[in-house]
Amino acid sequence: MKRRPVIATLLLLFAFTATARDDRPRGTAGIFDYYVLSLSWSPEYCATTRRDDELQCARPYAFVAHGLWPQNERGWPQDCESRERVPDATINRLLPIMPSKGLIIHEWRKHGTCSGLGADGYFAALERSYRAIRIPDRYQRLPQTLTVDAARLRSDLLQANPALRSDGVVLQCAGRYLQEVRICLDRSLSPRACGRDLRNRCGDSLVLRPVR
């Protein structure tokens, strides 16, 4: 009988904590420090999470635009309040570099709404930053699996893009397989160093699945 007040108190505390967590603001549009341009290695996505009806996996894409993410020196804003939808014309324009309508809409809702830009302005910035990066020929047409030193991949990218900073490029892997290259840009889309909470997630050697 004596346990009931204790249990009731704990349940009330849990409910209050959950409510407080849900009510916290997730981000304020336009308040962030810099951008992260995420380039996804499409063959890895298609090998691990493929959906047969997706345009992305029906064509031989190499690096595609995953997103342009507002970022803070520590952490990032997301899901900022907005009722704006991505126009169909914008989606169609982006499909050659970001080949998934679902991804485009998701990236706007989660990240683009926090940019302080409208959907057209945000995706124009994404497209401009993506097209400013030169992908070395070696990684554009890859007919077979490639094992490469992580240092070599970073060096190749830096040599092809002299304006990039060595501390502004980070690699993301799942096990030994390359998933993404993330490039840090200031709010004017010029290269800069990444914040301290962005780290390389690859070992010394990594594997790129072939482009097919």
Catalytic residue among 44, 111, 127, 180: 111
106 among known catalytic residues: no
DSSP 136: P
Catalytic residue among 44, 54, 66, 81: 66
Exposure b/e, 152-165, CB count within 10 A at least 16 = b: ebbebbeeebeebe
Catalytic residue among 73, 106, 107, 127: 107
For the chain, the first-to-last Cα distance in angstroms comes to 67
A 10 A CB-CB count for 4 gives 8
Any residues with CB less than 8 A from the CB of 174 and at least 6 apart, and which?
44, 48
44 among known catalytic residues: no
| Strands in 135-202 per DSSP E | 146-149, 169-174, 177-185
Catalytic residue set: 66, 107, 111
